[in-house]
């Protein structure tokens, strides 16, 4: 590159009308150089806690020590991504990839940036590249599984989600994708088991209750229970989703609950008609009453 990486990054940061926290943080001359890892670790901690401005500040301090330190660039880009500064995040991640073309985390973030542009093909390609660069990343495999689910490629989704859950057995969201892939393949018992495992791992994970509700609503049959019981289970899980998620105004969950209740009413009417028909058939085929006994 004709100019230093740090200079390019900083020109990107200060080039636009960004808030004060995005301006360049000068590192005292005597502290330049040395190990950028401590500041990067602190930046990562801030990022996980949602303190994006502090993550940006610490990432830039780390880059002040080593302008080519890709882990700090990734955290910097992720922080801007979470602040919805997508163009800036893209520019920084592109610089990071030019420094280290084999960094899987760069491609993970690139996948999400592609989704922001509604570029599904680009997102799938980026997540796939992330798994190729780091086959031991459950996050990359889970992201790829989500893309395959969007495309209704359930076989590939199942393979990717299975890898994610095996790499990280306590990864609740990966269990959701695993269950969704099983549901797409009409393997309802396996889907039920995966969604329930997600709840076991994270009892507050609202999407697990929602997916269970849809599973019991749509599945042609569930082993061991009849149609009415299946639909009542769907209503139960969808109500638990409402309790866990505080649905938005346009959330379709109430429509699904109404659909389940109407299906129960139809099934109960069908069962009532069947019972009456069986009673009529039995009455027609009953033997004549015996004559009274002789006195």
Q: Give the residue extent of every domain in the chain.
A: 1-101
So what's the pLDDT on residue 9?
A: 53
User: What is d(CA 245, CA 253) in angstroms, rounded to the nearest whole number?
Assistant: 11
Taking a C-beta distance cutoff of 8 angstroms, is the pair 97, 87 a contact?
no
Mean pLDDT of the chain: 88
Q: Where are the alpha helices (DSSP H) in 49-171?
A: 52-65, 70-82, 86-99, 104-116, 120-133, 138-150, 154-167
* Nearest Cα to Cα of residue 64 among 34, 21, 96: 34
Does residue 39 have a pLDDT over 50? Answer: yes
Per-residue pLDDT tens digits for 113-147: 999 999 999 999 999 999 999 999 999 999 999 99
Q: How many CB atoms neighbour CB 89 within 10 A? A: 24
Per-residue pLDDT tens digits for 57-88: 999 999 999 999 999 999 999 999 999 999 99
So what's the pLDDT on residue 281?
A: 83
Total-model pTM: 0.81
Lowest mean pLDDT among 5-19, 143-157, 213-227, 248-262: 5-19
Task: From residue 99, give the alpha-carbon distance in Å to each of 69, 94, 103.
Answer: 9, 9, 9
Does residue 23 have a pLDDT over 70? Answer: no
Fold of the domain built from segment(s) 1-101: 1.25.40
So what's the pLDDT on residue 7?
A: 52
Average pLDDT over residues 99-126: 96
Residue 250 pLDDT class (50, 70, 90 cuts): confident
């Amino acid at each position: 590159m004709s100019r230093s990486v740090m200079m390019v990054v900083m020109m990107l940061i200060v080039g636009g009308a960004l808030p004060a926290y995005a301006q360049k943080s000068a590192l005292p001359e005597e502290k330049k150089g040395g190990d950028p890892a401590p500041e990067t670790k602190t930046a990562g901690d801030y990022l996980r806690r949602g303190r994006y401005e502090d993550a940006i500040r610490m990432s830039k301090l780390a880059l002040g020590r080593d302008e080519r330190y890709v882990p700090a660039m990734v955290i910097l880009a992720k922080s801007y991504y979470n602040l919805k500064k997508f163009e800036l995040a893209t520019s920084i991640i592109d610089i990071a990839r030019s420094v280290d073309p084999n960094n899987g985390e760069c491609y993970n973030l690139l996948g999400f940036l592609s989704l922001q542009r509604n570029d599904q093909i680009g997102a799938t390609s980026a997540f796939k590249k992330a798994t190729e660069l780091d086959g031991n990343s459950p996050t990359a495999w889970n992201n790829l599984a989500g893309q395959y689910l969007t495309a209704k490629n359930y076989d590939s989704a199942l393979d990717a989600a299975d890898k994610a859950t095996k790499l990280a057995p306590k990864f609740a969201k990966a269990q959701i994708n695993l269950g969704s892939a099983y549901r797409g393949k009409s393997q309802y018992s396996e889907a039920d088991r995966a969604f329930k495992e997600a709840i076991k791992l994270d009892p507050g994970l609202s999407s697990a209750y929602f997916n269970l509700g849809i599973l019991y609503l749509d599945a042609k049959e569930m082993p061991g229970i009849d149609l009415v019981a299946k639909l009542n289970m769907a209503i139960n899980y969808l109500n638990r989703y409402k309790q866990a998620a505080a649905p938005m105004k346009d959330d379709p969950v109430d429509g699904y609950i109404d659909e389940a209740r109407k299906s129960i009413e139809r099934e109960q009417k069908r069962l009532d008609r069947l019972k009456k028909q069986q009673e009529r058939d039995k009455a027609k085929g009953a033997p004549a009453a015996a004559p009274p006994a002789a006195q």
